[in-house]
Structure 1
Amino acid sequence: MRRKEAAMSSSLWVVMTVMAQFMPADGFTQSTIAKAYAEWAPAIALVQYSSEITDPGSGETTKRDSSALGLVVTPGGLVMAPGHMQLENAEPFNVAITVGHSGSEQKFEAEVLKKPDDINICFLRIQSDTPLNLPCATFARNMRMAIGEPVLLIGLYSENLDYARGIYTCRIGGILEKPRTTYCIDSSLRFGFVGGPVINAQGRLVGVVGFDLTPAEGGDLYVRSGHPLVYQADLFRKYIESPPDKTAEGGPGGEDAWLGIFTQPLYDDFAEYWNLPKEGGIVVSSVMAGSPAEQAGLQSGDVIVSINSIEVHPRLDREVVGFTKLVREIGVGKTVPLRVLRGGKPLDLEITLAARPKSARDAGEYKDEVFGLTVRELTTDVRILLNLGEDVKGVIIRRVKSGSIANLAGMRPGVIIMELGRNPIASLDDFKKAVAKLAEEKPKEISAFCRAGAETGFFRLEPRWDAIKR
């Protein structure tokens, strides 16, 4: 009897082992996974790029080199990438895309296209002197998914693993119907899979996976932020069929419309102090000289409650971004109604939006070989970022050479030089002339009157003229 039970147990183990080899893994068989991988993994690309991030506290600009998953969506080289590539004040440059893997790689330069306003995805176009015929992703139409439905994701592993293509499976864990149908997956998302293709159990490509805009990017205007979502293909198909324009110099979306004001939200305690309804708004802290806001008659202390007949209700800092985005999207040259509260009473104005002035990315720059400084002109976006009025003149330090005279004096990136050796500095040209003059005079000590944050003071420079090579 024991031998018979043992034989039956052994047979059962063999049957269970064989069955496990063919049992679907979270709704997918091994052959289904292999087929989907072979069909769609060749469309996965590696996107590498640089960006400059400005610290609003110090004004220091830091260059970052980053990478992301790219998905080739046309044979001619249109590529989709995650939306975090394009942020406010962080436009990507030096963009390169590598297609192929394991010895068949091809690397191309790429241009960044205008970022769509309604979905957190970027579009890039590969640059090639010859026509391309790349493997690409083709999305199914009108696909809906159900709660609990299994999906397969394809993405990139880290640089340590040579950006190898990889997979994992998960399920649709939730469905949000408003303000647009959105599918949530039931597990965390590895960074290298953000923007990767989503495949259903029938092997059909139904969308890509990603995150909606964070609050810092205006996420309050869209759906939920911070949870991995499936963007079904119908949300972005129009951009594949009719790609966005090339991004113009100066930021995502080409010429940005601009008011020319420093702002903050109408906090509830401000509203209570001013006897205003606690409904939010945009408080005008100051108005920039010569700006559209000044020409329209806006004043410090005004509270903007609507623009272009659209009400605005920011009560928190992060919600001000939504107002900025709204202004930008109205368009340059448009004249629109503006309603403000002045002294608690409504006042209707008209404002003609102008193009945002030159940004830090396009700013003139000068590398000084005498003191070891690389400086930039003060542009409007830097003034806004550092809350500098037009009365503050000077150049901003971008880099300080290690071991240089400026470095030994304690100067650092983000410091604004307003006077150098009793020579007033209001522009790059002033700075160049001051450096040339001091190099000719060769004083033993030089004072630099500067601004760092909200404080002003002097740096003491002690050049060793005999050791300086020019």
Structure 2
Amino acid sequence: MKNLLARSGARRAACLAVSGLALSLSGGWSVGPAFAQSAPPTSSQPSSVPTPAPRSVPSSFADLANRLLPSVVNVSTSAVLKPSKNDDKGPDSSDPDGPQVPPFQPGSPLEKFFHDYLKHKPAPNQPPRRQQALGSGFIIDASGIIVTNNHVIEGADQVSVTLQDGTEMPARIVGRDSQVDLAVLEVKPKHPLPTVPLGQSDKARIGDWVLAIGNPFGLNGTVTAGIISSRGRNVEHGLYDDYIQTDAAINRGNSGGPLFNLSGEVIGINTLIYGGAGGDSIGIGFAIPADDARGIIDQLRRTGHVSRGWMGLKFQDVTNDIAETLDFHKPDGSNGKGTLISEIDPKGPAAKAGLEVGDIITRVGDQDVTGQTMPRIIASILPGAKAQLTVWHKGALKTLPITLGQSPTPPDMPPSDTHQPEHRHAALGELGVTVSSIDADARTQYALTDDQRGVLVSRVEAGSPAASRGIAEGNVITQVGQDQINTPDDFAKAVQRLHERKKTEVLLLVQDDDGLRWVPVPFLGN
């Protein structure tokens, strides 16, 4: 299960936690029960005003849980841990950046034990170490099609699925999408499997009852209940954030499991938690809405990857300050909403459609858009499809047709073999930094969470521009300017584009022990 509390998030959560207190309507703090009965009507209340009937509360979820449990599976993954770059060095090797071995007698058993332990080096003639992980999933097709999270199976060379009755089967990765964090698996059962349908998450309301079923901490078939706490949550986890928030207990191992409504329909795929560093639930969990996932799952089943529409522009949300400055208002006089274009690719679809920097897109087809919803709406349109844009241009609204292109971000392809991709590096002399992909070994060595995205800073040259700005080995770079990066190739290409545009420095979003910060790094010689 992905955990939002990585490093700085833990401090933020601590600041927000106020045990046993609730803010009263009068503006003070009060302590009391979570639910209270309505006060009886006083004599001053009109007798004609009916008292609202309390909403029905299920007496038990047992029948529903019993019906749904067979369709939820455990997903187990395994991957070979790659040796680190220093694993082949002897105990007396000097590595100023690595862990230090206590000063034992050279060649003594204790010296070798500590060296092997700190370097995570297996003993000679032992088989390669493997990393095991557990997650959850649910069956959507009786032939053996299963939905889970991408981060549950990412990097795995072996995936298996265990049914509620204990039947274990090897699974094939049909397709995966890291940008929304979904994956589709396939197993070959001897008989049709029980399935659950994807429901209409857009109809789910705040306060509706929900059930979460999954495999938290490896505890098979765990059922928890709660309500929908909020909708449309943007937790700045990715470009397409639109999460359902729930207080049903969700923990590590629930990743990829279903969030059910009381009709037994999957309205969400449990993906993120806001909790302690150990993955413990504090009643704030997030699920991908089923209506967002449906089209992605269909594409993964058909092609193994996801194709997204692309307009070739950059934009930002229209805040109240921006609306006031531009005199952008609705007919009723309130501030307008939309996305303000800040940059246009001269060869992209937006330029061909006649859009200009400073235009505000208010609608795509019949959907109102904001800076938060725009990426998701555009990405849901297939490349080559046409759309109608409503655009505010220099004080007037107009409609522009646009034909969307193919997103330049390469799709995540299913593995072509059973081996984990090699650890990859990219060295950029202009910045004096070398970055590498984040694999299981790096997560262990640098205590990175399983949801950490970006590239790992594996080396910084002394006296380089990166070193002068405080970037150090073990930092993680998640963005170059407005471009999110997940691989060393992404990083190298993003920096190269800026270099070709004659930029004098690169703006990096860097995560270290203190959290995220923007760091402008000049190119060498500037």
TM-score (normalizing by structure 1): 0.48
Q: Which structure shows the higher helix fraction?
A: 1
Which one has more relative contact order, counting CA pairs under 8 Å at least 6 apart?
2
Whichever of the two has the greater Rg, that structure is 1
TM-score (normalizing by structure 2): 0.44
